[in-house]
Amino acid sequence: MNKLIKYTSFLIIMLSMSFSALALTLQDAKKQGLVGEMPDGYLGAIKNNAQVASLVNSVNKKRKDLYISLARKNKITLGQISALAGEKAIQKTASGNFIKNAKGQWIKKD
């Protein structure tokens, strides 16, 4: 009986973790320290798991599509647009969330 209670408790905990991870939003991921902004205008994974990777891939695909469109419209390179976007994203990052510095290290923004 004791093993059944432990097993059931374990299942409940695992299921609740799965559902919360599936509902992961960009803001939640930033607040939890799972992702951060990078100087190249893209989102980076700090903690690697399937949900984080999926979120990062989805956000970065949308960003790249937007950057390509803006680069064409303004007749500048994708690299120039993404660097500008990276600067702005880092400036707008809330204090306590992660950013990647020039040395390639994840740090909490002051």
For residue 31, tell me if it sits in a domain. Answer: yes
For residue 47, tell me if it sits in a domain. Answer: yes
- What's the rounded Cα separation, in Å, for the pair 94 and 63? 19
Q: Which residue has the higher pLDDT, 37 or 24?
A: 37
For residue 16, tell me if it sits in a domain. Answer: no
> What is the model's pLDDT at position 24?
87
Q: What domain range is 50 assigned to?
A: 22-108
> What is the model's pLDDT at position 31?
96
Residue pLDDT, tens place only, 43-102: 999 998 999 999 999 999 999 999 999 999 999 999 999 999 999 999 999 999 999 999
For residue 73, tell me if it sits in a domain. Answer: yes
For residue 2, tell me if it sits in a domain. Answer: no
> What is the model's pLDDT at position 1?
55
* Count of structural domains, the chain: 1
Residue 37, helix vs strand vs coil = strand
For residue 8, tell me if it sits in a domain. Answer: no
For residue 57, tell me if it sits in a domain. Answer: yes
For residue 27, tell me if it sits in a domain. Answer: yes
Measured from the Cβ of residue 58, the count of other Cβ atoms closer than 10 Å reads 12
**Section 40-45 average pLDDT:** 98
Residue pLDDT, tens place only, 8-33: 444 445 444 444 444 589 999 999 99
Residue 106, helix vs strand vs coil = strand
